[in-house]
Amino acid sequence: MTGSNFIIPKPQAIPYGGGEETDLRKYLNNSAQNVKMSKWRYFWVRLRNYFCCINAMIMPSNKIRVALNRWKGVHIEKGAYIGMFCFIDNMHPEYIFIEKNASINAGCYIIAHFNPMQHFRRTVLAQVAPIVVRQGAMVGVRAILMPGVEIGEYAMVSSASVVYKPVAPKTIVRGNPAEPVGTVRLEKELDAELMEYLESKKESK
């Protein structure tokens, strides 16, 4: 699969959080209805996702970490790297897309949804929105990607940065919130610049 074949979903409003966690039966029923699943199907999916999440965090093999995240629904192309101790959204993993040769380094958080308590409904929107990490991009150690962001091709997110908005291709961002601080120069581009420079030197002789 190539990145162009990904079908990126549109952001969707989701229910706000509540206090039903004290009543497990009510919580399961309401949560299953919100995602249009049967209660037992919802229970199985959540259990599977937690199993995959915890085990993917500690597995020493990238191949196994990628396989476990794919099993829970994350879209990951061949050649992508997922570091240890990464948390990738358990509730809506199908909203996360990682293209080939992209790297998500150790301890990153990729969070596709936000559903605060009801008393915040006048302030912020509860929603799930896709996160896309494009080909060749790098997300540094312990960086956080928030709902709806896209990391452009060959862009770099510095360690411990928090990304709230899209990052342009070949852009280096840093900080909280992450802001552009530089530009990525690919090896093939540097080679082309060197050849152009050498040619100009020949012509000047």
Residue spans of the domains in the chain: they are 3-204
Residues written for the chain: 205
- Is 201 a residue whose pLDDT tops 70? no
Average pLDDT, the chain: 90
Cβ-proximal residues to 83 (8 Å cutoff; 6+ apart), any chain: 65, 103, 104, 105, 106, 107, 108, 141
Q: Please report the pLDDT score of residue 1 as a whole number.
A: 38
Of 115, 143, 113, the C-alpha closest to 131 is 113
What would the pLDDT profile of 69-114 be if each residue is shown by its tens digit? 999 999 999 999 999 999 999 999 999 999 999 999 999 999 999 9
Report d(CA 68, CA 85) in Å as an integer. 13
Section 27-32 average pLDDT: 77
Residue 27 pLDDT > 90: no
Rounded to two decimals, the pTM is 0.87
Q: Regarding beta strands 113-114 and 150-151, do their DSSP bridges make them parallel or antiparallel, or are they unpaired?
A: unpaired
- pLDDT at 106 (0 to 100): 98
User: Per-residue pLDDT tens for 30-40?
Assistant: 778 877 888 88
What class does CATH assign to 3-204? mainly beta
